[in-house]
Structure 1
Amino acid sequence: MRRYLSDWKGLVYNFAFFLNGLLIFLLIFESRFSVPIWMQSLGRMHPLVLHFPLVVLMLYGFWVILIEKPGSVRWNNELAGILLLIGTFTAAVAAFSGFILSKEDGYEGDALFWHKWLGVAISLISIAWYSMQGYLSPWKLKSKLVAAGFLLLLFVGGHLGGNLTHGEDFLISPLPQAEDDVPKVAMEDARVFQDLVQPVLNQKCISCHNEEKSKGNLQMQTQALLVKGGKNGVLWDTTKADLGLLISRLHLPLDDKKHMPPRGKVQLTDEEIVLLAAWVKGGSRFDQLVSSLSPQNPVYAYAQNVLGGSRTEEQYNFDAADADEVAKLNTTYRLIRPLSAESPALFVNFYNRANFKSQDIEGLLPLKDQIVSMDLSKMPVKDEDLKILSKFSELRKLILNFTDITGKSLDELKKLPMLKEISLSGTGVKLANVKSLESFPALKKVYVWSTALTVNELAELKKLRKISFETGFRSDTLILALNPPVIENEEVIVSSKTPISMKHQIPGTEIRYTLDGTEPDSAKSLVYTKPFSISKNTNVKAKAFKNGWYGSKQVDRFFFKAGYHIDSVRLILPADQKFKAKGDITIADGVKSDKQQSSGKWLGFRENDFQSYLLFKKPVLASSVTLSMLRNVGGFIFPPVRIEVWGGANEKSLKLLKIITPEMPVKETPNSDYLVFNAEFDSQKLSCIKLVAKPLAKLPAWHPGKGEKAWVFVDEVFVN
C-alpha cells in the first residue's frame, strides 16, 4: 500500500513539474503563441480551479507558522506532505489555465501582468517547497519565513485576480457610502449623465470594461470611450427598435451568455434599466440638466429618489395597480414602471417600432386608472389610435414625437380631464389642429418643434395665453439641422420590381438621393417623389433638405439585387464551429445578416479558406458574382487577401474567371461595416461556380492581435 501511495505521489509531482516547465516555455515564447480553439476551454476552467490551491496552500502555510516545536503531536508529516503536493499540483493547473485565459480578448493592463507573473511564481515556489521539504523543517524559523512570504504572495495574487474578475470595489460595493463620500448635488445643479447614469455604469458595468479589463474591447471610463463603443460596435442607436447593444443586452434572460452584467455580478435594478433606456432614447446627452426635465419624465423621477429635491411630486388619490397585472403586461419593449418609489402612478415607455401594433396600447386598458405618463416616440401611431388613448383617464403626459399622426384626430384627447402635457414634435400637425388644443381642460404645455409649422404660425401660437407652446430655439443667427430621411425597406435583398421607399417626418422636406455612390447634394442629386426600383446592386444614399434648415446627415443602405436561384451549395472546407450559421445553404438562403458577428447568420473562416461550389441544375448565363462579407477590425474580421471565381460545366472543368485583391484596413479604418465584392467577367453559360476567399495570415503590427490570423465572414452570394 505504501508503495502504491508513493507511486501516486510521484506521478502527481512529475505532472506538476511538467506543467511548470511547459508554462516557463510558453512565457518565454509568449509573443509567438496563439491559443488554438480547442485549448480555450482549458483557459476558461481557471475560475473553477484557482480556489482549490489558494485554500490548500494557505492551510499548509498557516500550519507551518503555528507549529512550535519538533515532534509536536499537531504535526503529521504524511498528511502535511499530501496537502502540499495537492496544493503544488492544483497551483500548476491554475497557473497554466490562467495563462491560456489571459490570451483572450478583454484582459490587459498592469493588473493582468502582475497577476499572471505572481500566479507563475506561486506555482514555481510551491513545487520548489515540496522538493525541499527535507531541508525545511516546519518548526524552524526559515520555514516560517518562507510560509509567511508565501502567504503574502497568495493574498496579493488572489486580490489582483479578484480585481480583474469583479472590479476593485466588488467587496465594498454593496455597502453604503460613508456620508462624507456621498456627493452633495442639488436637483437644480444635477446633470443626467454625470450624477445619475455614470454612477450606475461605475457600479454595475465598469468592473468588466476598464483599462485593466476591457471585455469586448469596450471601456467605459470616459464619455469618449462610451461613444466609441467596442468590437461589436457602438453602445446605443436610437434608429434601432431595441436602442442598440447597451439596452438590448440588459433585457436578455439572465442565463443568456450575452446578458449584461453576466450572472454572478450585481445586476441592475428595474429603475436603473429604465433610467439608461430613457437616457438613450432621449438622445444620450452628456450635458443635460435634471431640472430641464418634466416631473413626469422617468429620469426625473429616478433623480428624486436618488438625489432628493425641493419639488414635490403630485399626490395621487387612486389605488395602486395589482402587481401581478403589471408584471403580466410588462414586455421586453413595453416597460411599465412606478413613477417613483411607493407611488401608485405608472409610466409606460414603448421601444419596438417594427413590431408595434395598436393592440399594444389597447392591451394596457386594465391599468388605465394608474397610467399617468406614456411615451410613444417614434412608434407608428396613427390618428385612429388616439381614440384608444382617450380612454386613459388619468393620463397627465403623452409623448407622440415623430409618430405618424397628422393631427386630424387630436380632439379625441379632449376626453382626458388630467392631460397637462403633450409632445407633438416631428409630426405632421397643422396650425388649426394645434390651436384646437386651447380648449383642452387641463393642458398646460405643448411641444411642437420640428413640425411643418412655419415661423409665422409658431409665432402666432406663442401669442396664445392658456397653453405654453414650446417651439424650439430659433434665431436669425442659428439654423438647425434636419433629421435624416428614413429608408423604409427592411429587406435589403430585392428583385427588380421591389420599390425602394423613403420618407421624412417633417412635411415639406425634400429628399435628395444618389445611386452611384456619390454624396447627395441639394442641387444636382435626384429628388425623391415616389418609390423607385433598382436593376443592379446599389448603394442608396439620401439626405433631407428644407428652407431655413441645415441639410441632414446622410443615410445609406446597400441593396442587393436578387440574382439567379442557386439550386445547391457545397462548402469544400468547413466553416469554424463557432460561426457555422446554417451550414452550406447560408450563402444562398436570401437572409442578410446584421453587423453583429454573433448574429448566428455568418459563416466564419480562419483556419480554413472559404471555398464553395455553387451548382445549377440548368446552365445560367452568368456575368458577375457578388459576395456579401463583413469587416469588424476589433473582432479580427478582415477582408480576404484574395478572392477567386472559377466557373465551368462541372466541378472538373473549371477555369479561372476573376481574381480580386481587396484593400486591407488601416489603423484609421472604421471598426465595423458591410463589405461587398463584385466580380465581373465575360458573359458565359455556367453550371458550376467555385468561390475561394483566403483569410489574412497575420494581423498588422498596429492591431492588438498582431501576428494572429484574421477571420473571413460571408453570409450571401449572388449570381448576376
Structure 2
Amino acid sequence: MPAFRPDDVPVFLLMVGRFHPLVLHFPIVLVVLALVAELVRWKGWLKQADAIMVVLLSAAAVTTLISVMAGFLLFASGEYAGLLMDRHFLAGAITGAAVFLALGFFLLFRKNPRFYPLYLACLITGNAAMAWTGHLGGSITHGEGYLTEYLPFLVKGSPSDAPRSEEEMLVFEDMIAPVLDAKCASCHNAERAKGRFRTTSLNELMAGGESGKSGIVAGDTSQSEVYQRVILPPGHSDRMPPEGKTPMTADEIALLAHWIQKGADPALRIAEVRQDGAIGSVVESLLPDLARYRRKAAVAKLRAEELRKELEVLATKLDVIVEPDTMADGDTYLLAMKFPPAPFTNDQFRELAPYSDVFSRASLVSSGIDDAGLYYISRMTNLRILYLQKTKVDGSGLIHLQKLPNLEVLNLSFTKVDDKAALDLLNFPALKTVYLHGTNTSPEVVEALRKYKPRLDIRMEEGPYL
C-alpha cells in the first residue's frame, strides 16, 4: 500500500475515515442479502426479481465503494499499519471489485443468459471476500487470533499449569492476583496503564499510580487506594472497575481486605486463612471461581507467547533488536538499533504501528527517523525512555511526543533541536531527564527551562545509547 504521512491528508478526510467502522455494516448486509435474493430468484419465489436484484446490487456496490474509501482514509491517518492492515485493505478492494462486476454481469445477463455463470461467480466471490475482510478487520480491532484464542484448550484440554494443592496455595498469588487480572488488568496492564497504574505484579500494586497514593499499604485498608476504590458505591466516578466492567464481588473484596490487614504478606497461605473464623467461608465460596480465572490467565499467557514470536519475525525483517525490557516491571519490550545500525526510516517505523503499545524503551540512535516519524513514536503510549541521538530530528515534531503520558527520559544529543523546539519540553507531562548535548539550544534557553521546570533534569552530555 502507498505510504502517507498524516499531515499529507486534509483533516476533513481523516475525519471521514473515522466513519469506516460505521458504514461498513451497510455493504455487509446488502451483499449477503443479494446472495439470498439470488437464491430466492433462482427458485422462482420472488416477483419482480430482476428489478429487486438491480436495486440490491447497486446499493451494495455504492456502499462497498464508500466503505473502502473510508477505510483507505482511516489507513492514511497513520493509526493502522502492518501486514494485517495490508491484507484487510486488499480483501476489501477485492470485495468491492467483485460486487461491481456482479452488478455489471447481472445487467448483461438480463440481455444475454450466457453471462449468468460470471455473474453468479462474482456474487459468491464477493460474499467470500467480504467474510475474509470482516475477519481481518476483527483481528485488527481485537487482536489476531481473537476468534481462535480458546482453540488450543479445546484441543489440549484445560490449561497445562496445574494448580497447587490447597495446602500450598497462597492468598495473593492464587486468589487475589487472579481476581485482579480478571477484573482490573484489562485497563491496568503493561500495554494500557490507565492512571499510570498497573495491577500485574505486587510491586506495582504497592507503588500506586499518578495519584501519588499507594495501591496497597500493608496493614491499613484506609490508606490502600485499590481497596478504597473497589468499595465506592456504584455510579461513583472513582469506583473501580468503572461502570460497564464486572465489579469485584463482596467475597472478593472481603478477602482483599483481610489480606491487607494481615500485612499484605505474599507468603500468607490459604490454609492459614481458612482457620480464621468468617473469612474461611469466604475462601470456600471463592475456590470454585479459580478455574475460570486461571483459564483467563492462560489465554493471556498464550497471547504473550504469540506476541513474542510475531515481534521476533518483525525484528528480523527490519534488522533491529526487539527484546523484553528488563528495566520495566511489566511485559513490555525494548526496540533498539543494531551496531552498525541498519537503514531505518519513517516508512519502516510504520510497520511497528500495530505493536506500538508494547514498547517501553526505544533506542533509535543514528537511525533515519526525522520529525515526521515522531508522530508514529507518539503512538507508543507506554514508552518511558527514548534515545534519538544523531538522528535527523530538528525539533519541529517534538510536539507529537507531548502525547506520551509515561515518557520520563528523552535523549536529543547531536540533533538539530533549537531554542524554539526546546521550549516544547515544558509541556511534556512526565519528563524527568532530557539530554541536549550538541544541539542548537542556547545556554539562555537551557537556564530558562531549568527555572520554569526545576524538576526537569537537563543534562549537557551525550548520555547513554541503550
> TM-score when scaled to structure 1?
0.32
| Larger strand share, 1 or 2 | 1
Larger CA Rg, structure 1 vs 2:
1
> TM-score when scaled to structure 2?
0.46
